[in-house]
């Protein structure tokens, strides 16, 4: 015998089912919401303070993120970093409790507004506050990826609206020069770019083998003092001539069997070297694009041909920071030829570079960014300007952090700019 259920009874039954579904969803959302955000200060491989964030969800999931503090004097960092950490722990952290970590944009916007409105944090403290905010933002992003059951790089790609994921070309820093050690090379850093590698793993293998070849070559030619063990990244030698250093690197590449598949990039670092003694750079003046006066049209043309010849002979593919004293004329010509990437090494110089149509690549440093959302927007802005985006883990002198989030950020957005992967913090930059 079948019992007939009236319309009112059916409606009550539906309401109960709907209410149970709502309660179940609410419980699920509550479990994945943020329970706590804590900031602490630690040190990295060269004793530079870093900001580390531990974020806990109500379901027990924990995520971490670290950001180095650099670009400001060490004394100022020590004086302000604990105050910033205390403020985040007492004000920002509690205000994020209960928020959904998948709401990345709204959380980042809230923190950005907080930074702008907090009048006590100006100058150095504001810089440190932004470092702390980016660490919190990264931890939130990791939590959002965990909740969404996605790899971090796929979650970031979704936030950026990118459907196709592209693995970056791993850049290996292999030799240091003027602003780091005491030799007289005018170029600050030399790095390898395995542009001919069929895959990311092959690119890493090519870089590793070339570095080992360079190590043997430098040790036999310059002695054990050329070993990178005494420096954090590249080799240091007593080479005094730029051409000799390029020949040594190219020989190492040839000996490894990767001729034509690995090209060289250099960081001129003219923004750092412009105040140094002029005699150190006189012999390289044309190549470094220094002191080219507006009326010297013929010399600019000659230098342009010389640079292109130099690029071809020594297998260049990237030149960073070649825009000292706002003189962009020669770098503009070289960049427009599309034969080499002319890289703007600082976001502060990005707008002048766009206006003067110089350069075709920009370095995006994680300790100059305030949030994951800002990182994505800046990468989009750089791409829309017609430039390539290169993600760097640090400013010069900040050391490294053992956090693979940088590798996840780089996929689909930019290029990894890191040192050799021989030690744990540097190896973390390449581990996705």
Binding residues for Mg(2+), by number, are: 267
Residue 137, classed as helix, strand or coil, is helix
DSSP 222-286: H-GGG-GGGSSSSB------HHHHHHHHHHHHHHTT-TTTSEEEEE--HHHHTTS-GGGTGGGHH
Q: How far is CA 34 from CA 15, 142, 231, 266, in A?
A: 30, 12, 41, 44
Which residue numbers belong to the known binding site? Answer: 267
> Alpha-carbon distance 195 to 395, whole Å?
25
Q: What is the largest CA-CA distance in the chain?
A: 105
Cβ neighbours for 63, distance < 8 A, ≥ 6 positions apart: 54, 55, 57, 139, 140, 142, 143, 146
Which helix (H) or strand (E) is 210 found in, with range? helix 200-222
> Alpha-carbon distance 114 to 77, whole Å?
20
Q: How far is CA 344 from CA 17, 275, 357, in A?
A: 59, 19, 11
Name the DSSP class of 419.
-
Which helix (H) or strand (E) is 383 found in, with range? helix 372-384
- Residue 69 near residue 39, CB atoms below 8 Å: no
> Alpha-carbon distance 362 to 382, whole Å?
7
Q: Is 384 exposed, middle or buried (0-12, 13-18, 19+ CB in 10 A)?
A: exposed
> Alpha-carbon distance 92 to 96, whole Å?
7
123: left (phi over 0), alpha (psi -120 to 50) or beta: left
> Alpha-carbon distance 33 to 27, whole Å?
10
253: left (phi over 0), alpha (psi -120 to 50) or beta: alpha
């Amino acid at each position: 015998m079948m019992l007939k259920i009236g319309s009112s009874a059916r409606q009550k039954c539906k309401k109960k089912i709907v209410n149970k579904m709502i309660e179940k969803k609410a419980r699920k959302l509550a479990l994945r919401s943020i329970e706590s955000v804590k900031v602490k200060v630690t040190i990295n491989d060269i004793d530079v303070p870093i900001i580390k964030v531990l974020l806990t969800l109500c379901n027990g999931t924990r995520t971490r993120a670290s950001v180095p503090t650099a670009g400001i004097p060490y004394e100022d960092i020590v004086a302000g970093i604990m105050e910033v950490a205390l403020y985040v722990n007492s004000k920002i952290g509690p205000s994020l409790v209960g928020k959904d970590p998948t709401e990345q944009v709204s959380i980042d916007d809230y923190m950005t507004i907080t930074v702008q409105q907090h009048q006590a944090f100006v100058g150095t403290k504001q810089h440190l506050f932004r470092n702390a905010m980016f660490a919190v933002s990264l931890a939130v992003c990791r939590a959002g990826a965990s909740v969404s059951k996605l790899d971090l790089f796929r979650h970031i790609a979704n936030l950026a609206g990118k459907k196709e994921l592209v693995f970056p070309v791993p850049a290996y820093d292999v030799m240091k020069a003027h602003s780091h050690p005491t030799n007289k090379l005018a170029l600050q850093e030399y790095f390898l770019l395995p542009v001919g590698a069929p895959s990311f793993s092959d690119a890493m293998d090519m870089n590793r083998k070339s570095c080992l070849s360079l190590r043997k070559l430098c040790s036999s030619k310059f002695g054990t003092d050329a070993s990178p063990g005494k420096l954090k990244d590249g080799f240091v030698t007593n080479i005094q001539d730029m051409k000799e250093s390029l020949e040594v690197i190219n020989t190492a590449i040839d000996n490894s069997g990767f001729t034509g598949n690995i090209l060289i990039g250099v960081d001129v670092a003219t923004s750092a070297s412009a105040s140094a003694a002029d005699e150190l750079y006189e012999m390289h003046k044309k190549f470094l694009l220094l002191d080219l006066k507006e009326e010297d049209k013929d010399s600019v043309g000659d230098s342009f041909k010389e640079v292109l010849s130099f690029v071809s002979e020594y297998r260049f593919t990237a030149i960073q920071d070649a825009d000292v004293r706002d003189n962009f004329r020669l770098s503009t010509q070289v960049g427009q030829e599309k034969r080499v990437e002319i890289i703007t090494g600082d976001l502060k110089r990005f707008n002048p570079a766009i206006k003067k149509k110089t350069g075709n690549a920009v370095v995006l440093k994680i300790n100059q960014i305030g949030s994951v959302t800002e990182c994505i927007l800046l990468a989009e802005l750089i791409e829309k300007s017609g430039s390539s985006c290169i993600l760097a883990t640090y400013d010069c002198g900040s050391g490294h952090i053992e956090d693979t989030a940088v590798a996840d950020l780089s996929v689909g957005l930019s290029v990894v700019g890191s040192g050799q992967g021989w030690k744990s913090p540097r190896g973390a930059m390449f581990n996705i």
